[in-house]
Amino acid sequence: MKNTWVLVRRYFSQEVRNSNVLFSLGLYLVGVAYLIYLLNGGGVPADKTWNSLLWIVVFFGAIQLSARSFEYESNDYFYYYQTIAGPAATIIAKLLFNSAYIAVISGLTWGLFSLFFGNPVFNTLLFGLALLLGSVGCSVVLTLTSGVAQRTQGNATLSAILALPLLLPILQLTSVLNLQAIVGVPTGEALNLVASLAALDIGIGLLAYLLFPYLWQD
């Protein structure tokens, strides 16, 4: 557990030091949100479209992030990390880091969308919860698939190809919840769906934890 925190801190400081990557991600978010605004002629999209666009922006942001998730564990560094931190600590640290990162990306996108298109969300708490759970689900799938892609010798597009079909169930469930939050279903009535999404996240997280050691060896 101590290893995990060291690794999480390390990933964060790595990210902060690598400021051009942070800027390019921020620029991507602002650029795409503004592109949608321009193409839409400054109009406000309907709720369903608003929600789909939000998830598409988050999805590609998350893909960009996860594509370099194992960047620093390539070649000789891989053996170095393998000896100083076991697979269990590594996967937990990656999952925590990526979940937090994708949650921040989705929060920022929500903010940008509110700025450009207004905020149609009625039940803010439920919407935030849905974004968080969706981000965790995305991070589990993307972390595992980018681990897979990294082991095939840095085929960057492979991660996206592998992740896309696996993400569809999670994104579909999440966006059902998001739409309920937009129309203002009380949080208490959506608890069933929240619980199933949380159970799905925990389930696939556990699966990723169990499977990762088989990837993390040569």
Task: Give me the residues that bind other proteins (CB under 8 A), please.
Answer: 144-145, 148, 151-152, 155, 158, 161-162, 164-166, 168-169, 172-173, 176, 193, 196, 200, 203-204, 207-208, 211, 214-215, 217
In angstroms, give the least distance from the CB of 212 to other proteins.
8
Minimum Å distance from CB 97 to other proteins?
20
Least separation in angstroms between residue 12's CB and other proteins is 27
Identity of the residue, 25 or 144, whose beta carbon is nearer to other proteins in the bound complex: 144
**SS3 (DSSP) at 8:** helix
Residue 51 to residue 206: CA distance in whole angstroms: 29
- Cβ closest to other proteins, residue 109 vs residue 135: 135
CB closer to other proteins out of 24 and 152: 152
- Which amino acid appears at position 162 of this protein? L
Q: How many CA atoms lie within 13 A of 60 on its CB side?
A: 16
Length of the chain: 218
| Cα–Cα distance for residue pair 122/189, rounded to 1 Å | 14
Helix (H) or strand (E) holding 100: helix 87-117
Please report how close the Cβ of residue 70 comes to other proteins at its closest, in angstroms: 13
Least distance from C-beta 205 to other proteins, angstroms? 11
Cβ nearer to other proteins, comparing 13 with 155: 155
Structure tokens at 22: 């942070």
DSSP state of 119: -
Nearer Cβ to other proteins (6/166): 166
Say whether 121 sits in a helix, a strand or coil. coil
